[in-house]
Chains A and B, each alone.
Chain A
Amino acid sequence: MSDQKTFLLDGREIPFEPGQTVMQAALTAGVFIPHLCYHPEFRPHGSCKLCTVKINGRPATSCTMPAQAGMEVESDTAEIRDKRRALVQMLLVEGNHFCPSCEKSGHCKLQALGYALGVMTPHFTHFFPDRPVDASHPEVLLDFNRCILCELCIRASSEVDGKNVFALSGRGLKKHLIVNAESGRLADTDFQATDKAAQVCPVGVILAKRKGFAVPIGQRPFDASPISAQAERYKPVAPAPKKEA
């Protein structure tokens, strides 16, 4: 008898190491749980709620919930899929998400989750917010229209790059991503295209200039197989070491 601890995820036995979250154990076992603010290299954030599952009948975010032996987890059920679909739809109407003209199309997790969850329509009434882009930086474009407030760039900039380039400002519906500079412009910070914060955006906010549409349609990460079949891409890995300032 092995003394490997396990829990049940949609009826499937998932082994886990002590200290792992439900999300980490599931992804390690090759089972995908939809998520946006989770990133394998960062501490869980629990804010996007896409990864909400039912644990012993109660809703919980799987990215923050420590795995425990014998727990029964429901994830891919009609009820939870409906809720996740509604979350994606709300994100789609809250920003300006025009996939045909977005460089991140085919690489975008929000879009990939829309496909995986069968989101055929944004359903709600669009906000069409006015969010000017910041093209001031020589190497990187910021298109705030697509921001979903996952805070990955904020976390990467402070925890890995040691720079604190990004932050959130405002509350409730007025919450938005800002650049920590007196002018508010990215060019007036020490941000570099090689920073971790430039690599982690799950949607099309932080884009390297002069590289758009480099990968042809058909060869992009989510063209060949749906994100739900790519659990191995998101397996937990050791966090990137903090750079010396």
Chain B
Amino acid sequence: MNAPKRKLRVATTSLAGCFGCHMSFLDIDERILQLVELVEFDRSPITDIKHCGPCDLGIIEGGVCNAENVHVLREFRKNCKILVAMGACAVNGGLPAQRNHLDLRDILEEVYHTEPGLSGGGIPNDPELPLPLDKVHPIHEVVKVDYFLPGCPPPADAIWKFLTDLIAGRTPVMGHGLLHYD
């Protein structure tokens, strides 16, 4: 009768983000001990697993700014039953998307050629480096996203409320003070 429930498998990653949302996630502090009773981690900076296997929940921080981001995002969408956009950059592109009104070549020229600092080094063109996209996109413009949690970053209490609602099978409801765009 009381067979232990299977733990939910969770993967997390940061695309064009700053890992601030992951840091805020860790700010749930000792509540992480309650969380690991309920979930186990697949691909995540916490486990250092490089590729995502079949998961119940995928959490994406950051928008899509280069070709590798697209591949990682698609891998998550393919493997995760529920995909969550966490933080301002995943939700609307955030700070990286503020380059969107500029021409990509002009940006690269300015950073690597005309401005002091890196000038003279040339625009990086190593095959190892993923090519930047013309524009930075929020993740819902590339794959279907099931849930969104805005914030820069979302506060730890918001992440906790969101995850506990979701794990309990409820649609997460963020009351006043937990829903923030900044």
Interface residues of A (CB under 8 A from B): 92, 96-102, 105-106, 111, 114-115, 118, 120-123, 125-126, 128-131, 217, 223, 225-226
For residues 61 through 119 of chain B, which have their beta carbon under 8 Å from a beta carbon of chain A? 85, 88, 91-95, 97-98, 100-101
Q: Would you call B141 and A128 a contact (CB within 8 A)? A: no
Given A98-B88, A100-B88, 17 other A-B contacts at CB below 8 A?
A96-B98, A97-B92, A99-B152, A99-B181, A100-B181, A115-B181, A121-B140, A121-B148, A123-B140, A126-B97, A126-B137, A126-B138, A126-B141, A128-B100, A128-B135, A130-B101, A223-B177
Q: Would you call A100 and B95 a contact (CB within 8 A)? A: yes
Q: Would you call A120 and B149 a contact (CB within 8 A)? A: yes
Name the one of A98, A114, A217 contacting B97, with C-beta atoms under 8 angstroms. Answer: A98
With A and B bound together, what is the CA distance between A100 and B182 in angstroms?
4
With A and B bound together, what is the CA distance between A122 and B92 in angstroms?
7
Chain B residues whose C-beta falls within 8 Å of the C-beta of A223 in the assembled complex: 177
Name the one of A97, A106, A121 contacting B145, with C-beta atoms under 8 angstroms. Answer: A121
- Nearest B residue to A222 via CB reads B176
Chain A residues whose C-beta falls within 8 Å of the C-beta of B150 in the assembled complex: 120-121
Give the one of B85, B141, B150 with max A CB within 10 A.
Answer: B150
With A and B bound together, what is the CA distance between A102 and B83 in angstroms?
28
Chain B residues whose C-beta falls within 8 Å of the C-beta of A111 in the assembled complex: 181-182
Q: Would you call A102 and B98 a contact (CB within 8 A)? A: no
- Nearest B residue to A105 via CB reads B182
Name the one of B91, B135, B152, B176 contacting A121, with C-beta atoms under 8 angstroms. Answer: B91
Chain B residues whose C-beta falls within 8 Å of the C-beta of A125 in the assembled complex: 141
B179 part of interface (Cβ distance < 8 Å): yes
With A and B bound together, what is the CA distance between A129 and B94 in angstroms?
14
Question: A-side binding surface: helix, strand, loop or mixed?
Answer: loop
Interface residues of B (CB under 8 A from A): 85, 88, 91-95, 97-98, 100-101, 135, 137-138, 140-141, 145, 147-150, 152, 173-174, 176-177, 179-182
Chain B residues whose C-beta falls within 8 Å of the C-beta of A126 in the assembled complex: 92-93, 97, 100, 137-138, 141
Q: Would you call A129 and B101 a contact (CB within 8 A)? A: yes
> Contacts A99-B88, A100-B181 hold; do A122 and B176 have CB atoms under 8 A apart?
no
Min CB distance B113 to A, Å, is: 22
Chain A residues whose C-beta falls within 8 Å of the C-beta of B97 in the assembled complex: 98, 126, 128
Q: Would you call A98 and B176 a contact (CB within 8 A)? A: no
Min CB distance B70 to A, Å, is: 16
Chain A residues whose C-beta falls within 8 Å of the C-beta of B98 in the assembled complex: 96, 98, 101
Chain B residues whose C-beta falls within 8 Å of the C-beta of A129 in the assembled complex: 101
Name the one of B85, B88, B92, B176 contacting A225, with C-beta atoms under 8 angstroms. Answer: B176
With A and B bound together, what is the CA distance between A204 and B181 in angstroms?
14
- Nearest B residue to A114 via CB reads B181
With A and B bound together, what is the CA distance between A169 and B11 in angstroms?
48
Min CB distance B89 to A, Å, is: 9
Give the one of B100, B101, B176, B179 with max A CB within 10 A.
Answer: B176
Name the one of B95, B177, B179 contacting A120, with C-beta atoms under 8 angstroms. Answer: B179
Chain B residues whose C-beta falls within 8 Å of the C-beta of A115 in the assembled complex: 176, 179-181
Q: Would you call B94 and A100 a contact (CB within 8 A)? A: yes
Q: Would you call B100 and A98 a contact (CB within 8 A)? A: no
Give the one of A92, A102, A120, A225 with max B CB within 10 A.
Answer: A120
> Contacts A99-B181, A121-B150 hold; do A92 and B92 have CB atoms under 8 A apart?
yes
